[in-house]
Amino acid sequence: MTPNGVPRSLAIAKSGIKTGHDFAAMMSALMSDLIDGRVTPSVGNAACNAGGKLLKVVEMQYKYGSTAPGSTRKILELTVTE
């Protein structure tokens, strides 16, 4: 924990990032935490890098994912199944 208290983004992150709204709320809170000094720049940088990779996975899922029969959710297979 930093001297300025518990980061607001921590509660959002602990509950999980499942939607675009969750992601936006977490990143917004993270920006505020960085400005307030509630998280260190290295933690903020790591969270932003991880967030960028999360968005890339979502993008790839929409582009290259396949829909299972009876479902509307696209799944991105990371390995080849035979």
Run means of pLDDT, 10 residues per run, the chain, 82 residues = 79 93 96 95 96 93 86 82 67
Residue 80 lies inside a defined structural domain of this protein: no
Three-state SS at 80? coil
In a domain, 44, yes or no: yes
Query: What pLDDT, on the 0 to 100 scale, is given for residue 35?
Result: 95
**Tokens, residue 37:** 């000094």
User: How many domains does the chain contain in total?
Assistant: 1
Which residue range forms the structural domain that includes residue 46?
A: 8-75
DSSP state of 79: S
H helices of the chain, in order, are 8-15, 20-36, 41-64
Q: What is the pLDDT of residue 2?
A: 54
Q: What is the pLDDT of residue 78?
A: 78
In a domain, 56, yes or no: yes
Residue 3 lies in a domain: no
Euclidean distance between CA atoms 78 and 65, whole angstroms: 10
